[in-house]
Chain A
Amino acid sequence: MFHVEHYDVVVIGAGHAGIEAANISDKYGLKTALITKNYSDLGKLSCNPSIGGVGKTHIASEVDILGGVICKIGDKSAIHYRVLNLSKGPAVWGVRAQIDRDLYSQNMKKFIKSSKIDLIEDEAINIIEKNNKIVGVELSNIGIIKSKAVILTTGTFLNGKIYFGNESQEAGRIGNSSSKALAKFINKNFKTMRLKTGTPPRIYAKSINYDVLEPQISENNGIFLSYFTKQNTNIKINCFITKTNNKTHKIIRDNLDRSAMYSGIIKSQGVRYCPSIEDKITKFGDRNGHNIFLEPEGLNSDLVYPNGISNSLDKKIQLKFLRSIKGLEECEVNQFGYAVEYDSVDPRELKNNFETKKIENFFLAGQINGTTGYEEAAGQGIYAAIHAAIKIKKIKFNEKVFERDNSYIGVLVDDLTKLGVTEPYRMFTSRAENRLKLRTDNSYERFSTVINPKSFNKLEYSLISKNINNEKKIFDRLTQLKYSPNDLMKKNIKVKKDGKVRNGFEVLKFLDPSTDKFKKFFNLTITQKLLTKIYFDSKYDVFYEREKKSYDQLNKNKNMKLTNIDFNKIPSLSKEILEKLNKHKPENLHDAGKISGITPSALFQIVKHKKTKGNKVA
């Protein structure tokens, strides 16, 4: 008899979701295996060499404070920083780091090796379940390994197919075969859909004429991806900006029939917010030019990632249009752009803990759930693993932290499992109703009830506690200080003469958030970082209340469950409304109200039907 390994958690796929899942499962003391088809691909940045940005940083910072690795390894491997939206409030600051691909992979491998995770290089070919409960995983070489839970994070590898012009081949990404065996299992058991994404060509750095291009210099105002990063000593590189022009547009327009996407070969749904250059020219061809960001792939890499021109054109056409662009006149291509088509699971197959509804202890996370982006994947990986740990170890956990008014991960989980997707899902800050509260500078506060000391090293954990204590001290002092309108007038602060005595925290929003002014006014010393944070807490305080006054709040029945209702049996609903309700299958009245075009009268009719007919009509 062979010896069969028994794990608590087996994670299939070692991308950004898989790594976070394996890591947190390990940190929660679970015996964990991480399966990858190809050791060298562990933690590979398969698309653009950058982490972060508006919305993306927001998820990443939550992963970070939950004990994840994406931000820490990201900072370690960063060679260029920018902070987007710096002129706006910190709720939407988005630090973005250019990452050295090789450094990132090396750092990630080092990290996994230093952990207790069993890293297995093999191909998972089947999921073993009995009576709709997970038993284990069958690997191509090793055979069956048993596990209490399985987290599947196979990204775009399920029935992956890549396209250049009229050429196509089966692959999850260039150079990697797709997972057909697993795809069979998934397609048999779950509702899947075909999604599409694309990637631009890679250009040799030395073939680019940088002299004629505008550089973008690294700058981060002391803001890093990770809460724990104090500095980055890597050499910083410049990125460069160039633009498409009318000549480029003409070449592309004339050759749309040689694009996999436009010639009709690919039929699956693409991404509206990540359009291919073909899309941009077709929809916005009247523009003078579309920006291209030339992002070096690493300090020692001779490749450049031209962000902004993903396409699935014939290789010859790609070269032709590239060479029409300023600075790229003599460029040489290492790897042409292509489109990828892959299967993803309808995320409504998942419970809100990311366990499949059909098979117990079987979790799905990452791009397989119809999302896009490293950060979105990482967020799901950590979320699925935490919930696997909650189930296996029966951990008490404050689930409120993952509600949509408290975290972006909560927004993502709620959107995916309730509304499903029609295109790869990316996080935007505008998806969060509670945007003013969901900030990267207060993740530690929002997650304070679930921060697991074992997920951090001593230094990191003491930093969190020190900062929290420090903030509490200042906050307590501020709330003890009292000011009448008269006191404030004397200090040149204009407030309503309402006779209301305000405490220091309430007064803070009337000041300039500079440490000097703060010291002068309150006679307290504070760091700029903390001051910025509590200043905006003070400023946004009233709006947290106002947000609660939204559309559904006026409806007393918002928690009414709708899972057993057959909407078709409500004769008074219009065809249009019916279609929407059947498509989205809202769980309760609140969710129904949040579907586009659902009218208050439609909600009335549902309530009435439910109250008179109850659940009998199923």
Chain B
Amino acid sequence: MFKSGTIYSNFTPLVKAPVIGYRISGDDVLNILKKITKKNFSKDHSLIQIVKIYQQDETLLDECSVVYFKSPKSFTGEDVCEIFLHGSPLIASQFEQLLKDLKVSGLRLARNGEFSYRSVLNGKNSLKQAKAINEIISNESFSGLEYNKRLLFDGDIFSGLVPLKEEVINLFSEITASIDFVDDEAFNFNQIKKKIRKFFSNCNNLLQENRTNIEQKNICRIMLVGPVNVGKSTLFNKIIDKDRAIVTNIKGTTRDILSNEFIISSNRFEIFDTAGQRSKQGKIEKYGYKKAQKISTEIDHFFVLIDQNTKKSDISTLFKDFMIHKNYSLIETKSDIYNYKTKNIKINHSFERDKIYQKLKLNSIHRKYVKNKYKKTDLNLEEIEFLERILEYEQDIVNEKDILIIAQLMRNILDDFSFEFGYISSEDVYDRVFSKFCIGK
């Protein structure tokens, strides 16, 4: 469990960027703001203001925007402030030092998930919603993203587990009735067992369906190949446009080959740059080239870059080395220098990024390789793990002949659902029993 006290943490990465943000939450927020800005924020709920932040020795630390949220109208339900420093890691480190020097008792760096924890504690979010926030952030597919947004904004009742919850209450009600009201209606043990098997198969289906949907490929992998000096790296840098493109992940060390993830109009791509091909390769180059060949089995589409100097035999070697069949586009580079007379795609370094995207037909390539990318998901990863736990009961219950033991295990499952949706009491079960069966004399 987490302890009390006022907590702070950066909510942007601590890297060079336009802005580095900090959030502080707890009883001492106003006190801290007063100390570092010499200003009283108590009446300024949710107003963005530009203020000066001073260090202990009264020198200016930064001039930046600050917003204060008064409890309980904040994310955590406590007093909260958010501070947007200029994006220098050095300023950030000065800022953290300042907070330490304030010697406010109980003020400390937040632990992972602590802000969300407090939001649950203070009733701002349900447990499910807090988990959904986490999932939204870590989500890698758009369908999963939509689902978690629905959970977060519209509530737990949109969970894909709700129909299973209803099914398990109904099932448990029938089992209960068949034991306690054996005389009142004709109950059939085999029917009940059949329904139990059905319940587990429904759990299983939902699980499998969503697992495939979630794990389903939504990324299109592209590899740039071509002779040395044809302009692969230039194109690579242009596509991922370090300054402006939405680049989500920078790899390169793990595969000894440069790769990058980026998103264009909701389509995810991973692009690989390769060592150039030439007849006499150095040791390291050879190694890189071999590596690229290995990865090529996972590649959806190849951009084969050529220019006026590329021989036909070079191209066929490339096709052979990377096992390229129909999944490629031929791209002629340096079109500003050479005058090509083919129908191939022609580009040159003066093209803007968007023009490059258009020329390369990235969106239609994505459509070709990534099918059903908007297939609806009805579970998030948390819930998938939950269903896996439920399915652990399957063998024990399905193989059991004693209805009392079955009832006991089904009650355990109800309790597990209680954790997700609130306590399911005997009264809830009886409500179901008496509305479904004509009980009593």
| With known contacts A571-B72, A572-B72, A601-B126, A550–B179 Cβ distance under 8 A | no
8 Å CB contact of B404 from A284, A291, A435, A601: A435
Q: Closest CB of chain A to B64's CB: distance in Å?
A: 32
Q: Closest CB of chain A to B24's CB: distance in Å?
A: 19
Residues of the B chain whose Cβ atoms lie less than 8 Å from the Cβ of A429: 179-180
In angstroms, Cα B184 to Cα A273, docked, is: 10
Chain B CB within 8 A of A307 CB: yes
Residues of the B chain whose Cβ atoms lie less than 8 Å from the Cβ of A48: 441
Q: Closest CB of chain B to A542's CB: distance in Å?
A: 10
Q: Closest CB of chain A to B228's CB: distance in Å?
A: 61
Chain A CB within 8 A of B202 CB: no
Residues of the A chain whose Cβ atoms lie less than 8 Å from the Cβ of B435: 283
In angstroms, Cα B440 to Cα A90, docked, is: 22
Residues of the B chain whose Cβ atoms lie less than 8 Å from the Cβ of A271: 440
In angstroms, Cα B422 to Cα A547, docked, is: 19
Residues of the B chain whose Cβ atoms lie less than 8 Å from the Cβ of A274: 440-441
Q: Identify the closest chain B residue to A435 (Cβ).
A: B404
Fill in one digit per residue for A68-94: 1 if any B CB lies within 8 Å of its CB, else 0. Answer: 000000000000000011001101100
Chain B CB within 8 A of A614 CB: no
Chain B CB within 8 A of A280 CB: yes
Q: Is the beta-carbon distance between B126 and A287 smaller than 8 angstroms?
A: no
Fill in one digit per residue for A554-576: 1 if any B CB lies within 8 Å of its CB, else 0. Answer: 00000000000000000111100
Chain B CB within 8 A of A610 CB: no
Q: Is the beta-carbon distance between B408 and A546 smaller than 8 angstroms?
A: yes
Residues of the B chain whose Cβ atoms lie less than 8 Å from the Cβ of A88: 179, 402-404
In angstroms, Cα B428 to Cα A555, docked, is: 22
Interface residues of B in 171-204 (CB under 8 A from A): 176, 179-184
8 Å CB contact of A430 from B77, B423, B426: B426
Chain B CB within 8 A of A499 CB: no
| With known contacts A85-B182, A596-B423, A549–B124 Cβ distance under 8 A | no
Chain B CB within 8 A of A436 CB: yes
Q: Closest CB of chain A to B358's CB: distance in Å?
A: 49
Residues of the A chain whose Cβ atoms lie less than 8 Å from the Cβ of B179: 54, 85, 88, 92, 429-430
Q: Closest CB of chain B to A371's CB: distance in Å?
A: 15
Residues of the A chain whose Cβ atoms lie less than 8 Å from the Cβ of B422: 596-600, 602
Q: Is the beta-carbon distance between A551 and B423 smaller than 8 angstroms?
A: yes
Residues of the B chain whose Cβ atoms lie less than 8 Å from the Cβ of A92: 179-180, 404
Residues of the A chain whose Cβ atoms lie less than 8 Å from the Cβ of B183: 53, 84
8 Å CB contact of A550 from B127, B176, B415, B428: B415
Q: Is the beta-carbon distance between A608 and B426 smaller than 8 angstroms?
A: no
In angstroms, Cα B411 to Cα A602, docked, is: 22
8 Å CB contact of A600 from B124, B127, B424, B430: B127
Q: Is the beta-carbon distance between A551 and B419 smaller than 8 angstroms?
A: yes
Chain A CB within 8 A of B438 CB: yes
| With known contacts A54-B180, A436-B404, A551-B415, A594–B425 Cβ distance under 8 A | yes
Fill in one digit per residue for A38-52: 1 if any B CB lies within 8 Å of its CB, else 0. Answer: 000000000010000
Q: Identify the closest chain A residue to B434 (Cβ).
A: A272
Interface residues of B in 408-431 (CB under 8 A from A): 408, 411-412, 415, 418-419, 421-430
Chain A CB within 8 A of B122 CB: yes
Q: Is the beta-carbon distance between A275 and B438 smaller than 8 angstroms?
A: yes
In angstroms, Cα B423 to Cα A595, docked, is: 7
In angstroms, Cα B120 to Cα A549, docked, is: 24
In angstroms, Cα B440 to Cα A272, docked, is: 8
Q: Closest CB of chain B to A290's CB: distance in Å?
A: 6
Interface centre among A84, A89, A287, A596 (most CB of B within 10 A): A596
Q: Is the beta-carbon distance between A604 and B120 smaller than 8 angstroms?
A: yes
8 Å CB contact of A596 from B120, B415, B427, B439: B427
Residues of the B chain whose Cβ atoms lie less than 8 Å from the Cβ of A573: 123
8 Å CB contact of B423 from A283, A310, A572, A594: A594
Interface centre among A275, A573, A601 (most CB of B within 10 A): A601
The tally of residues in A whose CB lies under 8 Å from a CB in B reads 58
Chain A CB within 8 A of B90 CB: no
Q: Closest CB of chain A to B339's CB: distance in Å?
A: 69
The tally of residues in B whose CB lies under 8 Å from a CB in A reads 44
Chain A CB within 8 A of B405 CB: yes
Interface residues of A in 577-608 (CB under 8 A from B): 593-602, 604-605, 608
Q: Is the beta-carbon distance between A546 and B412 smaller than 8 angstroms?
A: yes
Residues of the B chain whose Cβ atoms lie less than 8 Å from the Cβ of A91: 404
In angstroms, Cα B439 to Cα A280, docked, is: 9
In angstroms, Cα B424 to Cα A293, docked, is: 34
Chain B CB within 8 A of A184 CB: no
In angstroms, Cα B428 to Cα A351, docked, is: 26
Residues of the A chain whose Cβ atoms lie less than 8 Å from the Cβ of B429: 430
Chain A CB within 8 A of B121 CB: yes
Interface residues of A in 343-402 (CB under 8 A from B): none
Q: Is the beta-carbon distance between B423 and A543 smaller than 8 angstroms?
A: no
Q: Is the beta-carbon distance between A543 and B408 smaller than 8 angstroms?
A: yes
Interface residues of B in 1-28 (CB under 8 A from A): 4
In angstroms, Cα B408 to Cα A539, docked, is: 13
Q: Identify the closest chain B residue to A573 (Cβ).
A: B123
Chain B CB within 8 A of A428 CB: yes
Chain B CB within 8 A of A337 CB: no
Residues of the A chain whose Cβ atoms lie less than 8 Å from the Cβ of B182: 54, 84-85
Interface residues of B in 100-144 (CB under 8 A from A): 120-124, 126-127
In angstroms, Cα B181 to Cα A601, docked, is: 35
Residues of the A chain whose Cβ atoms lie less than 8 Å from the Cβ of B418: 551
Q: Identify the closest chain B residue to A285 (Cβ).
A: B438
Chain B CB within 8 A of A206 CB: no
Residues of the A chain whose Cβ atoms lie less than 8 Å from the Cβ of B407: 430, 435
Q: Is the beta-carbon distance between B425 and A595 smaller than 8 angstroms?
A: yes
Q: Closest CB of chain B to A105's CB: distance in Å?
A: 23
Residues of the B chain whose Cβ atoms lie less than 8 Å from the Cβ of A296: none
Residues of the A chain whose Cβ atoms lie less than 8 Å from the Cβ of B121: 601, 604-605, 608
Q: Is the beta-carbon distance between B441 and A307 smaller than 8 angstroms?
A: yes
Residues of the A chain whose Cβ atoms lie less than 8 Å from the Cβ of B434: 272-273
Chain B CB within 8 A of A308 CB: yes
Q: Is the beta-carbon distance between A572 and B123 smaller than 8 angstroms?
A: yes
In angstroms, Cα B426 to Cα A382, docked, is: 26
In angstroms, Cα B407 to Cα A543, docked, is: 11
Q: Is the beta-carbon distance between A593 and B430 smaller than 8 angstroms?
A: no
In angstroms, Cα B179 to Cα A89, docked, is: 10
Residues of the B chain whose Cβ atoms lie less than 8 Å from the Cβ of A307: 441
In angstroms, Cα B406 to Cα A89, docked, is: 12
Residues of the A chain whose Cβ atoms lie less than 8 Å from the Cβ of B176: 428, 430
Q: Is the beta-carbon distance between A284 and B438 smaller than 8 angstroms?
A: yes
8 Å CB contact of A431 from B126, B402, B426, B441: B426
Chain B CB within 8 A of A13 CB: no
Chain B CB within 8 A of A55 CB: yes
Fill in one digit per residue for B68-106: 1 if any A CB lies within 8 Å of its CB, else 0. Answer: 000010000100000000000000000000000000000
Residues of the B chain whose Cβ atoms lie less than 8 Å from the Cβ of A549: 412
Q: Is the beta-carbon distance between A55 and B405 smaller than 8 angstroms?
A: no
In angstroms, Cα B415 to Cα A593, docked, is: 11
In angstroms, Cα B426 to Cα A594, docked, is: 9
In angstroms, Cα B179 to Cα A543, docked, is: 18
Q: Is the beta-carbon distance between A428 and B122 smaller than 8 angstroms?
A: no
Q: Closest CB of chain A to B151's CB: distance in Å?
A: 14
With A599-B422, A600-B127, A601-B126 given, can you name 19 additional A-B contacts, CB distance below 8 Å?
A48-B441, A54-B179, A54-B180, A85-B179, A89-B404, A275-B438, A308-B441, A429-B179, A430-B179, A435-B408, A543-B405, A550-B415, A572-B122, A595-B423, A595-B425, A596-B427, A601-B120, A604-B120, A604-B121
Closest 5 CB pairs of A and B: A572-B123, A596-B425, A599-B422, A272-B434, A284-B438
Binding site for B on A (CB under 8 A): 48, 53-55, 84-85, 88-89, 91-92, 271-275, 280, 283-284, 287, 290-291, 293, 307-308, 310, 428-431, 433, 435-436, 539-540, 543, 546-547, 549-551, 571-574, 593-602, 604-605, 608, 612
A-B pairs with beta carbons under 8 Å apart, 18 shown:
A89-B403, A272-B440, A275-B439, A284-B438, A428-B430, A429-B180, A550-B415, A551-B415, A551-B419, A571-B72, A597-B428, A598-B422, A600-B127, A601-B123, A601-B126, A601-B127, A602-B123, A605-B121
